[in-house]
Chain A
Amino acid sequence: MARLEIGQIIAVIKEKLPGAVVEEVLDGVDPFVVVKTEQWGETALLCRDDSRLGFDLLSCISGVDYPEREEGPEIEVIYHLDSMVNHHGLTIKVKLPRGDPRVASVEEIWRTADWHERETYDLVGVVFEGHHNLVRILCAEDWVGHPLRKDYEPPDSFHGIKNVIY
């Protein structure tokens, strides 16, 4: 297959899954699309299995907290996909309500998502539904709160170890 431009990639997704793409931002530094949360699972599967897309590598999953959005407090989960065969990439976002951020897990589609999702859960507090072992990965298992939330307050001490601020 061949390298596709971002417009062609989006066209393929729209053709196979009408309604999945809810927003396209193509004028920024890096273009990205926003996918409807309910349809993220099938979109991910399409991205991997459609030979025109061929996104075999999930490069990164990031979670970003936006407590002060006009549309209401949100958490974004950003997936950076990459195709080793076609040499093109795509950035997909899902926007989740900050109060109850839930999105389908893609660990069955790309195995690397296992640890990335655990990290996003640990630090940002996004729940990945269907993940087989969604536990903290970087912080201790009895840590309280999700450090990369913008309103996070670090604890004064942890198991008797004082939080010293110089």
Chain B
Amino acid sequence: MNEAKIRTEEMLLNMGPQHPSTHGVFRVVVRTDGELVLESESHIGYLHRCFEKCAEGNNYLQVVPYTDRMDYLCAMMNNWGYAAAVEKLAGIEVPERAEYIRVIVAELNRVASHLLAFGTYGLDIGAITPFLYAFRDRERILKIFEKLCGQRLNYSYVRVGGVTFDMTDEILADIEAFCDYFDPKIIDEYDNLLSYNGIFISRTANVGVIPAELAISYGVTGPSLRGSGVQRDLRRDAPYGIYDRLEFDVPVGSGEMGQLGDCWDRYMVRMREMRQSIRLVRQAVKDIPEGPFCDKKAYRAVKPKAGEVYKRVEGARGEVGFYIVSDGTNIPYRVKARAPSFCNISILDKLTSISNVMIADLVAIIGSLDIVLGEVDR
């Protein structure tokens, strides 16, 4: 064959919207030179369900189930973010017991969400076994939630004024049993299985490095920001609920395996956060007081005075914020959701432009940002 005739050309490649490594319907158009990604352009909106428009047609309590369906992997935190915003707007006091229950369910949900992130990240990189381990343990948490509120994913459990059902002693015992089972044995097992696996480290260390300043400018929050070494956690920096009474550490990336802010750092922050979440659950289970689980009046109807509020909570993926405008009726005038995944994934195009990544690395980067498309598109 005549060698002069063989030319290499740049190729436009459409990754998604249906692609296993995008964790949902997310499309990236990549310009490639062989295996190298020269440029990428993200397209979102395939899962847009007009959450904000729907919220303008329902009363304050009816909006809660819509928030479940934003980030369906940690619905408790979405519920909580919305409920906290409405409570602040309407001046509703949450009973002490409900605050403890909220911490318990939110932290368990964080563990469940991080477990899924851990499992699917293994899949992205090419390790199938961790996924099966992660789902084995996630199932235990979902069983607890099912017992608590009859739902496995879309709980609508945290509601304005408190929670929907009371926590029984039996479920508290289940939760304690889960904590004893899970920490530290199981998390150590994960670390042996995947975190310190040589192949995994070579695939993730020094890949997709996000400098701290860039991350902040792109509005990246949550574990993805802490992976870049930034000490920022709303539970500690702007405590809501009863977090100011509980002890926990905020793990941040340190560039142990490569550069600070690489995929491994982001991954490892999640693994370490699980230990802290279990620590929080244990404290809350120990101290939970007796009393009502929801504000009686708010259980039935909520009608805030005219005004507006912006409230954020620390979700599993970053800062979940709700901006709510009330015109004094029982239907919100405007609800705007700040979805952490929406901001986190917006940095992807920048990452592919500042460094030469391989197509396989692109998969590793998307996985390490841990997005949920239901939340990106709302």
Contact = CB atoms under 8 A, between A and B. Distances in A.
Interface string A116-132: 10000001000000000
Interface in B25-62: 44-45, 48, 50, 52-53, 56
Given A62-B323, A64-B325, A84 B307 contact: no
Given A115-B343, A148-B56, 6 more contacts: A59-B312, A64-B334, A91-B310, A111-B347, A115-B342, A116-B219
Interface in A119-166: 123, 136-140, 147-148
A28 B307 contact: yes
Contact of A112 (B56, B308, B343, B378): B343
Contacts of B310: 30, 59-60, 78, 80, 91
B52 A123 contact: yes
Contacts, number: 87
B68 interface: no
A148 B52 contact: yes
A139 B88 contact: no
A115 B308 contact: no
B216 interface: yes
B52 A80 contact: no
Nearest to B306: A28
Interface size class of A (residues with CB under 8 A): 20 to 34
26 contacts: A28-B307, A29-B308, A57-B219, A57-B221, A59-B219, A59-B319, A59-B321, A59-B338, A60-B310, A60-B336, A64-B334, A65-B334, A80-B310, A80-B321, A84-B216, A87-B237, A87-B238, A110-B217, A111-B214, A111-B347, A112-B218, A115-B343, A138-B45, A147-B53, A148-B53, A148-B56
Interface residues of B, number: 39
A136 B346 CA distance: 15
A111 B354 CA distance: 14
Contact of A139 (B45, B237, B312, B338): B45
A110 B221 CA distance: 14
B272 interface: no
A136 B325 CA distance: 24
B235 interface: no
Interface string A56-68: 1111101011000
B321 A29 contact: no
Nearest to B378: A138
Contacts of B338: 59-60, 80
B71 to A, nearest CB: 16
- Nearest 9 pairs between A and B by C-beta? A112-B219, A62-B336, A60-B338, A138-B45, A138-B48, A111-B217, A115-B346, A29-B309, A64-B334
Contacts of B104: none
Interface of A: 28-30, 32, 56-60, 62, 64-65, 78, 80, 84, 87, 91, 110-112, 114-116, 123, 136-140, 147-148
A114 B345 CA distance: 12
A123 B333 CA distance: 15
Contacts of A114: 346
A65 B56 CA distance: 12
B219 A138 contact: no
B94 to A, nearest CB: 16
A8 B351 CA distance: 37
A62 B56 CA distance: 15
A130 B307 CA distance: 32
B309 A30 contact: yes
B350 interface: yes
A136 B219 CA distance: 20
Given A29-B309, A64-B334, A87-B238, A112 B346 contact: yes
B377 interface: yes
Nearest to B325: A64
A60 B323 contact: yes
A115 B338 CA distance: 12
A34 to B, nearest CB: 13
